[in-house]
Amino acid sequence: MAVSKLLKGAPGIAGAAIGALTTWFFDPQNGKRRRHVLRDRTLAKLRRGAASVDRHARYAAGHAQGAAHAMRPGASHAGDELNDAALARKVESEIFRGEDAPKGSVDVNAENGVIYLRGEVKHPEDVEALAQAARRVGGVKDVKNLLHLPATPAPMKE
Per-residue pLDDT tens for 135-149? 999 889 999 988 888
79 in a domain, yes or no?
Answer: no
For position 148, what pLDDT does the model report? 86
Residues 57 and 103 in one domain: no
pLDDT tens-digit readout, 103-115: 888 899 999 999 9
pLDDT tens-digit readout, 8-60: 767 878 888 888 878 888 889 998 998 999 999 999 999 999 999 999 999 99
CATH number at residue 101: 3.30.1340.30
Domain count, the chain: 2
Among the candidates 71, 95, 119, a domain finishes at 71
The confidence band for 7, taking pLDDT boundaries of 50, 70 and 90, is: low
115 in a domain, yes or no?
Answer: yes
156 in a domain, yes or no?
Answer: no
User: Domain span at residue 124?
Assistant: 84-148
Average pLDDT, the chain: 85
27 in a domain, yes or no?
Answer: yes
* CA 21 to chain CA centroid, nearest Å: 52
Among the candidates 22, 48, 71, a domain finishes at 71
Residues 114 and 90 in one domain: yes
pLDDT tens-digit readout, 57-77: 999 999 999 888 888 876 555
Residues 66 and 10 in one domain: yes
Residue 95 has pLDDT above 70, yes or no: yes
157 in a domain, yes or no?
Answer: no
What's the pTM value of the predicted model, to 2 decimals? Answer: 0.49
Residues 7 and 67 in one domain: yes
